[in-house]
Amino acid sequence: MSKFIFITGGVVSGIGKGIVGASVGRLLKDRGFSVFMQKFDPYINVDPGTMSPYQHGEVFVTKDGAETDLDLGHYERFIDEELTQRSNVTTGRIYSEVIQKERRGDYNGSTVQVIPHITDRIKGYVYKAAEESKADIIITEIGGTVGDIESLPFIEAIRQIHAENKKEDVLFIHITLVPTIPGSDELKTKPTQHSFKQLMSQGIKTNIIVVRSSEKISDEIKNKISLFCDVPKSAIVQSENVDFIYEVPVRLHKQGLDDYILHKLNLKGDKNNNHWEEMLQSIKNAKDTIEIGLVGKYVQLHDAYLSVSQALIDASYKNGYKVNIHWINSEEVDEESSKKLFKDLDGIIVPGGFGRRGVEGMISASKYARENNIPYFGICFGMQIAIIDIARNVCGLVGADSTEKDEHTKYPVISLMESQFDIENIGGTLRLGNYDCKLLENTKVRKLYGKDLIQERHRHRYEFNNKFKEQLEKQGVVFSGINPELNLAEIIEYNGADYFVACQFHPEFKSRPNKVHPLFDGFIKAIIKRKEKINK
Ligand code: GLN
């Protein structure tokens, strides 16, 4: 039997519910419990797969190929569990499933309504997550802010879950803002009081309040919140502003949050094994900085590359360095500007992307890295870019391109597979989620992974066109990772370079702060080695 924790947010959006939720998950895992996490998003899109990265940030892909909210990336990194399609559910998905059932006649002629049909479907996702994951504790974050029209059915569903289960099996955590008034340094609890009342009016009495505030909250503030919001003082903790997000669980633990949660859930946990504190210590010891250029077209919004940048940060710390990411707009890169833009960089990364805009700039970035032996790491689009660069500039295939950008190119080095041609609906042609990849002996990546067969997560439509394989191989490209069923190129390396590795999948989704992905680790190690050689 699983226990359930529901996380809601009050006052404003963007107060870090995702990080707090992930931290709660981490703490409970550290106390010896298995944890599964999910997020309910109140928007109408069925999933964020079709949303602009400018609006929504990165689309995080799970092993089973679900395109999900970026908070799932936090969850996976914090709790180190692979989540699934059950972990991200939107209003759009719930309604479309209910409407499909209605059209099929599954409701036997009854009037289909928000309560119970929509709410039952929502509850189904919570109970199914428990059933399938068999985790001790299911943590569910409700996106949006309490009081929003969109989140009402979700709040109602979790209220019902509370009513249907034993008191000690369901717990509510509310995250709220305690602002200061500009000019006076006074902290104000009124918005929190209102948010508490709002939740109460929807039938939920929160058990725990997590306060976000720019200042440290005093005992007096806690007393006030405790009085007005009817929670004991020991159930009020602060999620302080921190330099490094991995400090959040440690700080919450120090305030007794996990003890209090276990007490309320009537669970006896192990002693907390403080291994994240050790990790934080080594992070704080990092002194020197490496400079990495991230070349993409959505760089104005760093969240569009959240897992990539987090993996770079984690891999750098692991190797004793801080990283400074230079966010380079690929539309501003060409052969000329790259000399200036990349001059002081220790490494260049070209992450995933779609469409035509800014592609030439990315190709220039690959060329610059290759010709100046600067470590290059291409991810998904970044591998396709590297192949176009090498085809054009090393193999002499003038005008080589991806058919995504130039349908009529003479040399379609990146193209759709034939089996993809007859699919009318382009949305259905993405290769998503885990695929096997076999690694070639005596290659960089084989050494980095330390095994022959790996599984990595995908999200792309186009593939390397094997017709050009031999030509590229002759010029030093090693196809070091191959999908065995479809014979698709999954990883390439360029011979002679210190580190020129590119992969068709998204390794950033599997990197963890304390289990850094081998390709990120290899990239950072190559950067450090080169830097040390230059400084000698
Ligand atoms: N646009 C490319 C494709 O669809 C790469 C996608 C990506 O980088 N995620 O194949």
Q: What letters, b where the CB count within 10 A reaches 16 and e where it falls short, cover 439-477?
A: bbeebbbbebbeeeebebbbbbbbbbbeebeebbeeebb
Q: Which amino acid is at 444?
A: K
Q: Which atom in ligand 1 lies closest to the alpha carbon of residue 430?
A: 4
Average pLDDT across each block of 10 residues of the chain; the chain has 536 residues. List them in order: 96 90 96 96 90 88 95 96 94 96 94 97 97 97 94 97 97 96 88 95 97 92 94 95 92 96 95 82 89 95 96 95 97 94 96 94 97 97 98 96 95 86 60 97 97 97 96 96 96 95 98 96 97 86
Measured CA to CA, the distance from residue 131 to residue 262 in angstroms comes to: 21
Those residues whose C-beta lies under 8 Å from the C-beta of residue 227, and which sit 6 or more positions away, are none
Nearest CA, atom 5, ligand 1 = 381
Q: Are the CB atoms for 316 and 283 separated by under 8 Å?
A: no
Token pair of 534, please?
């230059």
User: Is there an atom of ligand 1 within 6 Å of 263 CB?
Assistant: no
How far does the centroid of ligand 1 lie from the alpha carbon of residue 491, in Å? 14
Angle of helix 257-264 relative to helix 247-254, nearest 10 degrees, comes to 70
User: Is there an atom of ligand 1 within 6 Å of 258 CB?
Assistant: no
Number of DSSP helices (H) and strands (E) in the chain, helices first: 19, 21
In this structure, the number of other CB atoms found within 10 A of the CB of residue 164 comes to 11
Nearest CA, atom 7, ligand 1 = 352
User: Is there an atom of ligand 1 within 6 Å of 25 CB?
Assistant: no
What pLDDT score does 277 carry? Answer: 85
Nearest CA, atom 1, ligand 1 = 354
How far does the centroid of ligand 1 lie from the alpha carbon of residue 322, in Å? 29
Q: Which atom in ligand 1 lies closest to the alpha carbon of residue 414?
A: 10
What pLDDT score does 427 carry? Answer: 52
How far does the centroid of ligand 1 lie from the alpha carbon of residue 69, in Å? 18
User: Is there an atom of ligand 1 within 6 Å of 404 CB?
Assistant: yes
In this structure, the number of other CB atoms found within 10 A of the CB of residue 403 comes to 15
CA distances (Å), 445 to each of 141, 351, 442, in order? 37, 18, 8
What pLDDT score does 14 carry? Answer: 83
Q: Sign of torsion, CA 234 239 242 248?
A: positive
Element (H, E) at 482: strand 477-483
What pLDDT score does 64 carry? Answer: 95
What pLDDT score does 425 carry? Answer: 54
Measured CA to CA, the distance from residue 11 to residue 191 in angstroms comes to: 6
Measured CA to CA, the distance from residue 107 to residue 296 in angstroms comes to: 48
Q: Which atom in ligand 1 lies closest to the alpha carbon of residue 351?
A: 8
User: Is there an atom of ligand 1 within 6 Å of 353 CB?
Assistant: yes
> Phi and psi (nearest 5°) for 41?
-110, 125
Q: What letters, b where the CB count within 10 A reaches 16 and e where it falls short, cover 30-39?
A: bbebebbbbb
Pocket mutation for ligand 1, best pick of 384, 420, 505 (most atoms within 8 Å of C-beta): 384
How far does the centroid of ligand 1 lie from the alpha carbon of residue 89, in Å? 24
Question: What is the tens place of the pLDDT at every residue in 449-474?
Answer: 999 999 999 999 999 999 999 999 99
Write down how long the chain is.
Answer: 536
**Locus of tokens 């992070």:** 283
DSSP string, 46-77: SSGGGS-HHHH-PPEE-TT--EE-THHHHHHH
What pLDDT score does 158 carry? Answer: 98
Q: Which atom in ligand 1 lies closest to the alpha carbon of residue 352?
A: 8
**Locus of tokens 């090393």:** 394
Catalytic machinery residues: 380, 506, 508
User: Is there an atom of ligand 1 within 6 Å of 459 CB?
Assistant: yes
Measured CA to CA, the distance from residue 397 to residue 389 in angstroms comes to: 10
User: Is there an atom of ligand 1 within 6 Å of 509 CB?
Assistant: no
How far does the centroid of ligand 1 lie from the alpha carbon of residue 198, in Å? 43
Strands (E) located in 297-375 = 322-329, 347-350
Q: What DSSP state is assigned to residue 180? A: B
How far does the centroid of ligand 1 lie from the alpha carbon of residue 434, in Å? 15
Q: Are the CB atoms for 351 and 377 separated by under 8 Å?
A: no
How far does the centroid of ligand 1 lie from the alpha carbon of residue 380, in Å? 6
User: Is there an atom of ligand 1 within 6 Å of 49 CB?
Assistant: no
Mapped onto helix, strand or coil, the DSSP state of residue 183 is coil
Q: What DSSP state is assigned to residue 112? A: P
Q: What angle do CA 229, 230, 232 make, to 5 degrees?
A: 115
What pLDDT score does 424 carry? Answer: 53
